Amino acid sequence: MAKQKNYFITGTDTDAGKTLVTCALLNAAKQQGLKTLALKPVAAGSEQGLEGLVNRDAVLLSQEMTEALPYAQVNPVLFDAPVSPHIAAAKEGRRVSASQLAGYCRGALMKPADLRLIEGAGGWRVPINMRETMADLAVELQIPVILVVGMKLGCLNHALLTAGAIARDGLPLVGWVANQVDADMSCFEENIQSLAEMLKAPCLGIIPRLDKPTDFATAAKYLNLSLLSD
């Protein structure tokens, strides 16, 4: 994998496994001796941390990446309620925009690293205000996309719709990861084969249902970072 690679991580749905895959990518890169960092520009859903309110996913990213960043840079916008960002913002009398989030990201991305990941919130078209979605942030940054497919009934439709939207927004889909969220999914292998044939990007890995969802070292074993090479 070439140096200084930046990717935007999106998912087919909420709970598709974006944080699992992002942390697994960070872990796999770390095992290769690469320097890594990751950002969660906007998060909805807070809990009390040692030094104030934090988002659990953002904390996991901070723990897994090799380069230290202040929490406020990893997750510059945090809402209390675990709902869509535009609804959470309205409840708190706040407003967030794609250009604002992009500015936060550019500041944090000034720190050098071999692999730098930006994890979205929810899916590709999750609103951040009444006019913009998470997709507008990725477009603003002009960053290639990795798609996390939550493997469950309906995932083919969700994956193809998301891939089509990414293409229409003018960004490259450089890879996808299958994450088995439904341990009893029918026709699992057939669905994987369908995605492999229909998505115009390499499959970076297939992560089975894990006993411990934060076992990022195990998840990393199922990923192939070399497929992200130029």
Pick from 116, 114, 149: nearest CA to 32? 114
Exposed / middle / buried, residue 83 (Cβ in 10 Å: 0-12, 13-18, 19+)? middle
- The catalytic position among 5, 18, 40, 152 is 40
Active-site residue, 111 included? no
Supply the DSSP string of 11-37, one letter for each residue. ESSTTSSHHHHHHHHHHHHHHTT--EE
Query: How are strands ordered across the β-sheet holding 145-150?
Result: 36-39, 115-123, 5-11, 145-150, 173-179, 203-207
- For the chain, the farthest-separated pair of C-alpha atoms sits apart, in whole angstroms, at 47
Residue 176 · residue 8 · CB < 8 Å:
no
Question: Residues with catalytic annotation?
Answer: 40
